Structure 1
Amino acid sequence: MIALTLDRIADITRSRVGGPARLTDTVTGPVTIDSRQVAPGALFAALSGERVDGHDFAAAAVAAGATAVLASRPVAEPHLIVDGGDAGVVTALGRLARTVVDELTAADVVGVTGSSGKTTTKDLLAQVLGALGPTIAPTGSYNNEIGHPLTVLRADTSTRHIVLEVAARGIGHIAHLCSIAPPRIGVVLNVGSAHVGEFGSRAAIAQAKGELVEALPTAEDGGVAVLNADDDAVIGMAARTRARVVSYGRSEQAQVRARNVELTPLGCARFELWLRGRGTAPVELRLVGEHQVHNALAVAAVAAEAGMGVADIAAALSQAGSVSRWRMEVTERRDGVTVINDAYNANPESMAAALQTLTAVAQQRRAFAVLGHMAELGAVHEAEHERLGQAVAAAGIEGLIVVGEQAEPVAAGAESVSAWRGQALRVPDAAHAVAALRERLRPKDVVMVKGSRVAGLERVAEELISGEDAK
């Protein structure tokens, strides 16, 4: 973070300096809500969590080197106090981030949204743009009203790119995040069924995602909207922005395209990257799954706007690896069993992509899908889970293990396909899923684990990787 005195921060955040703090004391960063991450010169923001109250860790934060505590009630340590409880602290963080990003005129802000693929695309962008200069991006899915400003506040005068994952739980959320850190480039990946239970319809999801392109500067001021040409709801957002539109995808109309896509034996995509007017170059991704092609194309479009040539973009994409955990992590055990851990989250579209990846990796080997439920689908919960089960059967996957009562319709859907020769097993939790797999796995089998975050299925993959080999 850029250096700011406490009196300047108080003015920005509309807070009051208290305790033994001095107005001239300076915060140099980082800004954190975790006292364990405090470093000398930090600002510790005290929030009241479900289990602990950050105010109780004010002394520890200052002892570790924090200049002051941003708090909503008085503490004995040097502090800046705001009104409004936790909401007041979060608002203050947003105001501070906006001031910092406005002062960092040399830094380009890139926002990424979509129903799926945001975190992977953000991670790819950070790695590719990093070749051009210091780049800041959130760790994992730090994409809400707390994580957004905390990410921005990691930037300093050396920063050239700030890559932000932008999520929404309702209409207006993305617009709010864009007011904290206004993007020059906005990427919309897709509009799917994730969170349809909260939004009510895919049209409402598209309305929310489109707030990103509405927040962009005009084309004359450098605004660029990077839109998926293969998703009608996304490319339709071109009418909602005054920014210049750059399209990407596999359709002939896209300005950034992938040609001759094929999968390696490990399930990674290989293709020819084509940029209109800039030439072509070969790409071989290290990420697993054909669905990663679209993510890579979005990154290529942004990188081209940042000034990279097609050969450099292709080389950077080919070198980039997985950063955030539990997203298509592929591990091969000593006995040849391959475990695909994609347990971070799930929605109908990402489940379909994961099944495609499982069959591509398995080839002629036996395949097992360990599936938890997809959260936040609302009224379409049962229908979408049954459809998923039917897709498992259609893919010819031999073993289906359904974890938890909410995922039960997946098993019913698979069993409704009379031609399916596989077996559906219903288990109550991750531990039972591991036990079932250990009874059934043979050397060279392939297991894919996926479900919504609340299902906690990463434990299945971790136990399989660290446990015994197949008999």
Structure 2
Amino acid sequence: MRLNAKQIAAYTGGQFLVDPIDASALMTGITWDSREVRPGWLYVALPGERVDGHAFVEAALRAGAAGALVTDAPSQSCALLARELGAAIIEVPNTASAITDLARAWRSHLRGRVIGLTGSVGKTTTKNLTRDVCAAYGSVVATKANQNNELGVPRTLLNADPETAVVVVEMGMRGRGQIAELCDFVRPVWGLITNVGESHIELLGSRENIARAKSELFEALPAGVGRAFANLDDDFATFMAERGRLSERSVALSGFAGHPDAALRGALERESAACDQAVWAEDVSLDAEGRPRFTLCARDAADHDDGALFATVERVPCALSLTGAHNVDNACAAASVGFALGLDLATIAAALGASVPEPGRQEIIAARGGFTVINDAYNASPDSMRASLATFAATDVAGRRIAVLGDMGELGNFAPACHEGVGATAASHHLDKLICIGELARHIAAGAEAAGMDAARISRADTVADVLEELDALLEPGDAVLVKASHFMGLTRIVEGLVN
């Protein structure tokens, strides 16, 4: 972001309560956390249930903020400080809406390719892989962590400069219309949907309704110049292409898949939309630590010379630093973006191999007690639970495999059945111990027992302290512990307790 105080006031419909010493001086960053403020940034005072950002305006100014957006008039001392420092204080009707207003205006300054990315599972990992692949093409800005909501999405745009080559915007959603609202100001030119799973089924009621909500991204792509990226392994890929009217609007379609047969079928069995590019994996295997090794393949419709589609196939070896076979799909998704940008497969494979996981997402930690902790506690859904358990089962472990699984959120009336299904999956992977924490996780325990797991190997816990106490008595050198649940369960405290 490079906007001056006059522009910021104009774009947000604000008025100056304190005039800046230089209204043409550019502000180069934005935050609503006074601890993040850097000299020359804009601080936004967001009201909250527990903390009101207006209480930290003075702290932000002292940290170097060149301006502040507020809805409440500042105190006399705060206004005096702003005048002494030459900073602007701008009053707006709504500070949260003002962030979106700024992003909407700033979007017109961006000359690079803006890519929207959504999906039920794997959004953040795919975003990170896409970011790392795009970095081989040019400068790139991507959503930080999983800041994919009404505040994080506009901030991603505002973090980009006009010269940024690629902006990767992760978009989360909990209901119909939310992706469309984000696309209204993001204005993505390319759009990638990782998959359609069961996340948010509580509010949407069915996978078809989830697919309708996700397909709002494809619907927003510009006719004639847009490009959609669809997972050909997903049974709703064609449905979402049809919802987006891709063929009718001349929006190009790139297909990706972690399974070659699905890629071939999806690419050639065109119904409402034709894939002009396809990226997929062959010869997938996992090493001793569960990291995928495969052949990355790609083909372009422009390569045919005998009337046959996709006559030329490129292949290169690829090895991920991430763990789990499910990440092959995520890697192919990112590779399809790089391929569409014109990168060669060897460059793409190198970027994929160098990409590392974020903390809390299949993070492997060697504890001082000689055992291993797999920290996958950042979030969870039925699909990601199954993928994480499969990865855990495929990893070489000298001792015992112990899984600590907690509640999954946003499943509504489907929650008991979804948790029981995860329990059945856990039973099929021959765990040495299954510890279930939380009220809903009791259904995981029940599902595992119903699927034939020995009840003596299943325990139920109510608190983090209970889990740590049990593990303290149980763990031995060589053992491995998987920790996974939805973020609200706070199971990172178990990870911290085990590691520290």
TM-score bracket, shorter-length normalisation? over 0.9
Q: Secondary structure in 2 aligned to 1:408? A: helix
* Structure 2 residue matching 1:69: 3-state secondary structure: strand
Between the aligned partners of 2:435 and 2:116, the Cα distance in structure 1 is 37
Q: Does 1:127 align with 2:127?
A: no
Separation in structure 2 between the aligned mates of residue 379 and residue 19 of structure 1, nearest angstrom: 52
Q: Which of residues 394, 404, 409 in structure 2 aligns to 1:375?
A: 409
Cα distance in 2 for residues equivalent to 1:364 and 1:65: 53
Q: Distance in 1 between matches of 2:455 and 2:401?
A: 13
Query: Conserved in 2, the CA contact under 8 Å of 1:398 and 1:422?
Result: no
Give the match for residue 79 of structure 1: 89
User: Alignment partner for residue 199 of structure 1, among 185, 199, 204?
Assistant: 204
Secondary structure (helix, strand or coil) at the match of 1:345 reads coil
Structure 1 residue 10: Cα displacement: 1.4
Letter in 2 for 1:308: L
Aligned to 1:46: 45
TM value normalised by structure 1: 0.94
Q: Cα deviations across residues 361-381 of structure 1 (Å, max 9, x unaligned)? A: 146742111000111110111
Q: Which amino acid aligns with 2:347?
A: D
Match of 2:447 in 1: 413
Deviations 1:402-430 (A, max 9, x none): 11222111111111233647611111111
Given the superposition, is the C-alpha separation of residues 464 and 235 from structure 1 closer, same or farther in structure 2, using an over 3 Å criterion?
A: farther
The amino acid of 2:353's aligned partner reads S
1:268 to 270, 274, 291: 291
SS at match of 1:247: strand
Residue 304 of structure 2 is matched in structure 1 by none
Paired position in structure 1 for 2:254: 246
Match of 1:345 among 365, 379, 404: 379
Query: How high is the sequence identity, in percent, across the aligned residues?
Result: 41
Q: Counterpart of 2:423 in 1: which secondary structure?
A: helix
What residue number does 1:459 align with? Answer: 493
Letter paired with 2:137: L
CA distance in 1, matches of 2:91, 2:474: 58
List runs of 5+ in structure 1 lacking aligned partners. Answer: 467-471
One-letter code of the match for 2:252? R
How many angstroms does 1:203 deviate by? Answer: 1.6
Equivalent pair of 2:397/2:480 in contact (CA under 8 Å): no
Letter in structure 2 aligned against 1:166? M
The offset of 1:235, in angstroms, is 3.5
**Is 1:55 equivalent to 2:57 in the alignment?**
no
Aligned equivalent of 1:213: 218
Show the 5 A alignment for 1:37-436.
37-75=36-74, 76=79, 77=82, 78-83=88-93, 88-105=94-111, 107-218=112-223, 220-221=224-225, 223-241=226-244, 242=246, 243-249=251-257, 250=259, 251=262, 252-253=264-265, 254=267, 255-276=278-299, 277=312, 279-322=314-357, 324-334=358-368, 336-362=370-396, 365-418=399-452, 420=454, 423-436=457-470
The letter for the 2-side match of 1:239 is E
What one-letter code is carried by the residue in structure 2 that aligns with 1:377?
Answer: L
Contact 1:393 1:422 in 2 (8 A): no
CA RMSD of aligned residues (A): 1.6
Question: Counterpart of 2:351 in structure 1: which amino acid?
Answer: A
Distance in 2 of aligned mates of 1:71 and 1:360:
53
Q: Secondary structure at the match of 2:499?
A: helix
The match for 1:28 is 27
- 1:335: how far off? 5.2
Q: Which whole-Å CA distance do the structure 2 matches of 1:22 and 1:171 have between them? A: 45
CA contact (8 A) 1:17 1:23 kept: no
List per-residue Cα deviations over 1:297-317 (Å, max 9, x = no partner): 000000111121111111111
Q: 1:444 to 1:333 in 2, by over 3 A?
A: same
Q: 1:201 to 1:162 in 2, by over 3 A?
A: same
CA contact (8 A) 1:97 1:150 kept: yes
SS of the aligned residue for 1:163 comes to strand
Change (3 A) 1:444 1:364: closer
CA shift digits 1:417-459 (9 cap, x unpaired): 3364761111111121111112111221111000000111111
Q: Tell me, which stretches of 5 or more residues in structure 2 are unaligned?
A: 83-87, 268-277, 300-311
